[in-house]
Amino acid sequence: MNFFDQIQAQTATERAYLLSAPIIGQAIHGQVSLDHYVAFLTQAYHHVKHTVPLLMACGARLPDRLEWLRQAVAEYIEEEYGHDEWILNDIAACGADAEAVRHSLPALPTELMVSYVYDRIARHNPVSFFGMVNVLEGTSIALATRAAGTLQTSLGLPKKAFSYLASHGSLDLEHIKLFENLMNQLEQEEDKTAVVHTARVVYRLYGEMFRTLTVSH
């Protein structure tokens, strides 16, 4: 079994916890309120705005033996830059206050998820970052495109309110193939262990984030 498939097998329990969050099923069936959708976009903004800084932190700390991975990180940075602004535009298209979201605080699970990955990069192994990539890109492929079309219909919102969700479903399909290729090039056990451990924790925290959406709204 290649390493990418090992990641999926070894994180199956944590992935199931995330996907069992009630709001995910509700979103796919178009049973989510506008407040819930804006709450989701708000938390998405609070973690997506850290994607590029996290990539930079990861790239800066990669050892010379992983120079090939640093090159991939540089390409990721260029592709991911500005996606947080897409989310704010979606929030404004929903009729909500995007500037208030920009200056708001994240929910606790979102804050912990981002902080945890910064910590893993700084104190443990910078390759840990790719555990988060596995969670976010894998989840968006599974859910984003399906949910975007359903929610647009059920909420009666314009297409421009779904640029983040709609684009990430198809965009991340390309990314996950690139990610799979990168992960299968990792050779050292310490790197592989770091990716799997981080993915497990991020699945739990991301799952908690989805659960806060229905509790607080």
Question: Is there a domain that residue 4 lies in?
Answer: no
> Is there a domain that residue 185 lies in?
yes
Q: Does residue 13 belong to any structural domain of this protein?
A: no
pLDDT on residue 89: 96
Evaluate whether residue 16 is within a structural domain: no
Domain that holds residue 62: 23-215
| Number of separate domains in the chain | 1
Q: Residue 142: which CATH number? A: 1.20.910.10
Residue 1 domain flag: no
Residue 12 lies in a domain: no
In a domain, 83, yes or no: yes
The answer to whether 163 touches 45, Cβ cutoff 8 Å, is no
**Helix/strand/coil (H/E/C) assignment for every residue in 117-175:** HHHHHHHHCHHHHHHHHHHHHHHHHHHHHHHHHHHHHHHCCCHHHHHHHHHHHHHHHHH
Q: For residues 74 and 77, what is the distance between their CA atoms, to the nearest angstrom?
A: 5
Q: Which tokens in the block code for residue 31?
A: 């049973």
Q: What is the pLDDT of residue 151?
A: 85
Q: Give which of 115, 133, 112 is closest to 212, Cα–Cα.
A: 112
Mean pLDDT of residues grouped by 10 in the chain (217 residues)? 96 95 86 92 96 97 97 92 93 97 97 98 98 88 74 88 77 75 97 98 97 74
Nearest 10 degrees: Cα torsion 176, 179, 180, 186:
-170
SS3 2: coil
Largest CA distance in the chain: 51
